[in-house]
Chain A
């Protein structure tokens, strides 16, 4: 159902050198992580190692997104971050999984009534981003996670302009902090407007790669993201969440997941066979 090969350092270097020139983004500081061109899932569930093995064996997926920490995660998925220990991460990587580590801290104040809103003061918001960036690194490091680290900024529509400056300040603070640590690659999960604005930020604060939600069941990171200009994030720097939360049954076991396509760097040491619909 899915083939994989051992990651070649040479392959990584070739890809990453090319990526360095795109958008003026700072190059990833290490070549130790694979570019995944495949499908995966993310989940808020606490999946045991045995259930992860079942999912890996019987599904077509190669990358698994989980939350390493953050105030919002702790409130919305109780015990999720503490469940996903280094031992868990190591075990599922041995199974062949690559990982998409996600951090969800404070959220835009105009997103309903978030429990942990980003301050409306942009200076404070930036400092909150710095603090959460440090925490993200701490949480990832504790789990043996290096490489890409995603910040989850949830979408907001109503009254969105009122919280946009503070949301950007928070995100910049987080990105700048994580980018300063050479073990990590800044990655942003956010809706179109946020990602598009981020493309013009100073290099030190610009996410190296992005994942955009658009639940259209069209996997491609280009064709499936019609509102993201094709000239943005072009060199294996895109991910697409193409379906939201739902049940999937594999080998008789039910999993609660979102679906993602990757053409970007993930954490792990397996390269899965290219799934072409993701690259379109």
Chain B
């Protein structure tokens, strides 16, 4: 009776403390925890695409989706590093951590075929900003120092910010 009530109340936790996997992310997380034996995600195994969500009070939110195209799960934590790419020109960008839109829900392990995300925000109402600041392409560097490209126009005139990696909205 007590055990049943505990299961009902907690929803996800058994009396023994075992986490019930509710989807692919959680299942992979449960299998990988606690030592996160999966390797860190590599740029070569991810496919990036931009999902522009919209703007509020001058802050534009782009959700960058990173799909694991590899055959194995990988670990993706921390924040990305960014560089603006225009032809052969690659310029590291100073992106602050923490966006107006917060961070996505935490995600440690990305199963094969699953998608992780981070938020990228740009502002559009700054004053007297120097140019040029429009980049046709972004280079995203992952915590393991590998990178991948995202072909999307991006304006850094008013500064940019990135969230931590997490689950897509």
Interface positions of A (Cβ within 8 A of B): 42-45, 65, 67, 72-73, 75-78, 102, 104, 107, 111-115, 152, 154-155, 157, 189, 191, 213-216, 241, 244-247, 254, 256-258
Cβ-neighbour of A215 out of B53, B97, B99, B123 (below 8 A): B123
Chain B residues close to A by CB (< 8 Å) = 52-61, 96-102, 121, 123-128, 158-159, 161, 169
With contacts A115-B54, A155-B124, A258-B100 taken as known, whether A215 is within 8 angstroms of B60 at the C-beta atoms is: no
Known: A154-B55, A244-B158. 7 other contacts (CB 8 A): A72-B55, A76-B61, A78-B169, A115-B53, A215-B127, A245-B59, A256-B102
In the complex the two chains form, is B125's CB within 8 Å of A75's CB?
no
A76 touches B55 (CB 8 A): yes
Please tell me which one of the listed residues A65, A75, A257 contacts residue B53 in the complex, with CB atoms under 8 A apart.
Answer: A75
A112 in complex: contacting residue of B52, B101, B123, B127, CB < 8 Å:
B52
Collect the chain B residues with CB atoms within 8 Å of residue A102's CB. 57
Residues of A within 8 A of B57 (CB): 42, 65, 102, 152, 189, 213, 241, 244, 258
The distance in angstroms between the C-alpha atoms of A113 and B52, with both chains bound, is 8
- B56, B97, B101, B169: residue with the most chain A Cβ atoms closer than 10 Å: B56
Task: Give bound CA distance, A259 to B61, whole Å.
Answer: 18
- A72, B54: Cβ atoms closer than 8 Å: yes
Given A45-B102, A155-B124, A241-B125, are A104 and B56 also a contact pair (CB < 8 Å)? yes
A244 partner, pick from B97, B126, B128, beta carbons under 8 A:
B126
What residues on B are CB-neighbors of A246 within 8 Å?
Answer: 96, 98, 100, 161
22 contacts between A and B (CB under 8 A): A42-B57, A43-B100, A44-B100, A65-B57, A75-B53, A75-B54, A76-B54, A76-B55, A77-B56, A112-B52, A152-B56, A154-B55, A155-B124, A191-B125, A215-B125, A215-B158, A241-B125, A244-B57, A244-B123, A244-B126, A246-B161, A256-B99
Contacts of A65 in B (CB 8 A): 57
List residues of chain B with CB within 8 A of the CB of A254: 98
Q: How far is the CB of B103 from chain A (nearest CB, A)?
A: 9
CB distance from B136 to the nearest CB of A (A): 15
| Inter-chain contacts of A244 with B (CB < 8 A) | 57-59, 100, 123, 125-126, 158-159
Residues of B within 8 A of A112 (CB): 52, 55, 60
A256 touching B58 by the CB < 8 A rule?
no
- The answer to whether B59 touches A73 (Cβ under 8 A) is no
Bound: A239/B116 CA distance, A? 38
Which chain A residues border B100 with CB–CB below 8 Å?
Answer: 43-44, 244-246, 256-258
CB A218 to nearest CB in B, in angstroms, measures 8
Query: Are the CB atoms of B102 and A241 closer together than 8 Å?
Result: no
Provide the bound-state CA to CA distance between A186 and B153, in Å: 35
